[in-house]
Amino acid sequence: MTPRPTPPESLPLEQMLARHARALDRRRPFEAFWQDCYDQTLPEPGKAAQLFDATAADAAEQLAASLLAELCPPWSRWFGLAPARPLDDSPAARATALALEDAAEMLQLHLDRSNFALEMHQAFLDLVITGTGIILVEEAAPGEPSALRFAAVPLRETVLEEGTSGRLDTIWRARSMTAAAIAARYPDATLPAAVLHADGEGEPARHRVLEAVHPDAHATSFTALLAGDDGHVWPLAEGRFAENPFIAFRWLKAPGETYGRGPVGKALPDIRTANLVVELVLKNASIAATGIWQAEDDGVLNPATIRLVPGAIIPKAPGSAGLTPLAAPGRFDVSQLVLNDLRARIRTALLADRLSPQREGRMTATEVMDRSAETARRLGATYGRLQSELLTPLVTRCLAILRRRGEIAPQTQDGQELRLRYASPLAQVQGRADAANTLLFLQAVGQLGPDAAAQVDAAAATRWLARSLNAPAEILKPLQATQNGVSPA
């Protein structure tokens, strides 16, 4: 990430630190809740022993992988570029459509060569667990296989602010870096002597670096500063981006809140209860396997030396009861009923029963359509938010980088020449439903006779179906040749 020269609209460093502190105070009420969600689904290695039920962890990982496969599947075209509607039926649209198709193919090529799938899956994990994910889109150094480089930014490192547009367009990222890492990331920065000579014996000293990206009157401003322990602040880099390199997106949000809420947070009470029930089941199983015993204090039997192993001989005094088992107060079979219900609710909340493939036999085409339609209904609001906050800014940022690198020809975006369309499996559900309704209409018209069939424009219907099913532009004849009845050369 190499910002351009310092813009005159940059905020004073002290004002930036004060603004970051206020945003950090607004984030603190969510931190304990996020940590609890992580402890129950993706615990740190030292805390994994406290987790007894893996249903939520498995379902959360499945949901993150399913989102990647349904929204932006690797090695597959999940987006497309097409002329806007006023150009769709004009002869000049074919050349524009072919140029846009080439641009989309080039973008897909760079995505396949980059680390997009790896980092996007990690960002989706953060989205599922905390409700908010962040992906950083940077331009790679010349000579790398791809012009794009991605990085999933942990939510714990960032503080977010919502702009007037309703999007998370202000991002503060606090990092702990060594002097060598700071010099490598900001080669033009002049580091103070106290930082350069802070390393002692053992591990190198780490320093707090704060990066801020926020919109200004023209584009997006970038500022990086070094905050010392004594309160001093040193600027590291300042500049401006045409597009925000940080893309923050949410699962859903409550009115008045900045950060999103994820499916793990919704199912957290059931996840906690299931974990506790499994812990009690294991304790009960341990009691059932080893038993609870009582012994008379007869001066011969020493409970401290007893080992309940096969072949053990336990001495006792003549006439004493020795070591006798103590009957358990009851059975714990009801726990299985409660646990099965809890696990089913957890998997339903994390969509494991909808997005995961079905293994109970083969499904018919109608069942597949119904299942896809139900998934689209359940994810309709979430998919709309992800399309607005993630997919559109992501494609826009990537196209801008490729355009600056000269990889694709300049095209008017969000204007009359370019329309972004999505071809992911989840996005195609509505298109397939519309196409099915149209085909049903055409079939009914064909049964009404020649007079009814003459009212249908077959060429227009073919082009409409091509748009609905995201067919490539190469398979359609030019409109002018079609109207004249001439096959293209």
Confidence at 414, pLDDT banded by 50, 70, 90: very low
Q: What is the pTM of this model?
A: 0.78
pLDDT digits (tens, 9 = 90+) for 307-318: 766 666 667 777
**Residue 157 or 489, more confident:** 157
Other C-beta atoms lying within 10 Å of the C-beta of residue 422 = 19
Mean pLDDT of the residues in the chain:
80
- According to DSSP, the β-strands at 233-241 and 220-227 are antiparallel
pLDDT for 324 equals 73
How far, in Å, CA of 296 to CA of 310, rounded?
22
pLDDT digits (tens, 9 = 90+) for 256-300: 899 999 999 999 999 999 999 888 888 777 767 776 666 666 667
Q: Which amino acid is at 264?
A: V
How far, in Å, CA of 465 to CA of 457, rounded?
12
pLDDT for 71 equals 87
CB-hemisphere CA count at 13 Å for 401?
Answer: 24
Confidence at 30, pLDDT banded by 50, 70, 90: very high
**Phi then psi for 382, rounded to 5 degrees?**
-65, -45
Longest dimension (CA), the chain: 115
Query: Do residues 71 and 395 lie in contact, with contact meaning Cβ atoms separated by under 8 Å?
Result: no
R_g (Cα) of the chain, nearest Å: 31
pLDDT digits (tens, 9 = 90+) for 74-104: 888 888 887 665 555 556 666 777 778 888 8
* pLDDT (mean) for 232-246: 87
pLDDT for 35 equals 93
Strand runs (DSSP E) across 66-216, as ranges?
79-82, 132-139, 148-152, 158-161, 170-178, 206-215
Give burial (CB, 10 Å; 0-12/13-18/19+) of 470. Answer: middle
Confidence at 365, pLDDT banded by 50, 70, 90: low
Cβ neighbours of residue 211 under 8 Å, at least 6 residues apart?
172, 173, 174, 175, 222, 223, 224
How far, in Å, CA of 443 to CA of 458, rounded?
12
